[in-house]
Chain A
Amino acid sequence: GESVGLHLPTLSVQEGDNSIINCAYSNSASDYFIWYKQESGKGPQFIIDIRSNMDKRQGQRVTVLLNKTVKHLSLQIAATQPGDSAVYFCAEKSPRGTALIFGKGTTLSVSS
């Protein structure tokens, strides 16, 4: 079936470290992917997106990598800060529709 999953439910890092959050997707037809950050008590916040015709996209302190061969998506956060502590979700979109399919989420905990 169509689903997006994450490899690890939790990730703990030290402040200043680089964080890598992984996501595996199963629909090879998906053409658009998004990473969201959800802090406690808030709605998901857009971080970065990538289309299937790209392998890498960089933002401010964040990089998304897409490996279509193994259907893998990752979010890299440089110099992780305590304010990065949140649940991170990846989501994919099929070219056939508008719906986003969300993965299970990874809880990132940053200790100082």
Chain B
Amino acid sequence: SAVISQKPSRDICQRGTSLTIQCQVDSQVTMMFWYRQQPGQSLTLIATANQGSEATYESGFVIDKFPISRPNLTFSTLTVSNMSPEDSSIYLCSVAGTGQETQYFGPGTRLLVL
């Protein structure tokens, strides 16, 4: 499976600021996704990152709060904007190949907002 890396691995941020998280894959993949995992909870899909077009957001998530870029088939970014303590979570990217349903996850970015 693809090797997925995320930067930063963790960060502590002040409320009101924004943080951009990067996801890099070592091979081209068709699908890239961003998930949020709140403390002690399961994973919730934020959006599907589409290459060359706007991301597709799930209910409850909006582009103004979580802008996403996907300039090519190996890279995507998620920005958490105007952060509040409620945004403290693990943010995970995942990937899937063409015609593949199995998603593989990166190591996650652990965000603490003070």
- Would you call B92 and A102 a contact (CB within 8 A)? no
| Number of cross-chain contacts by CB at 8 Å | 48
A96 an interface residue at 8 Å Cβ cutoff?
no
- Would you call B43 and A93 a contact (CB within 8 A)? no
Number of B residues, CB within 8 Å of A: 22
Complex contacts, B110 vs chain A, CB 8 Å: 41
Complex contacts, B107 vs chain A, CB 8 Å: 42-43
- Would you call B43 and A46 a contact (CB within 8 A)? no
- Would you call A100 and B42 a contact (CB within 8 A)? no
- Would you call B1 and A44 a contact (CB within 8 A)? no
- Interface of B (DSSP majority class): strand
- How distant is A90 from chain B, measured CB to nearest CB, in Å? 10
Which A-chain residue is minimally distant from B93 (CB atoms)? A43
**Which listed segment binds A: B14-22, B68-76, B77-85, B97-105?**
B97-105
A99 an interface residue at 8 Å Cβ cutoff?
yes
Number of A residues, CB within 8 Å of B: 21
- Would you call B42 and A99 a contact (CB within 8 A)? no
Top 10 nearest A-B pairs by Cβ distance? A43-B105, A102-B42, A102-B43, A44-B105, A43-B108, A43-B107, A32-B101, A99-B45, A104-B42, A43-B106
Give 27 pairs: A residue, B residue, CB < 8 Å, sorted on A: A32-B101, A36-B105, A41-B110, A42-B107, A43-B4, A43-B92, A43-B105, A43-B107, A44-B43, A44-B105, A46-B102, A46-B104, A49-B101, A49-B102, A89-B43, A93-B101, A98-B48, A98-B96, A98-B101, A99-B45, A100-B43, A100-B45, A102-B43, A102-B44, A103-B42, A104-B41, A104-B42
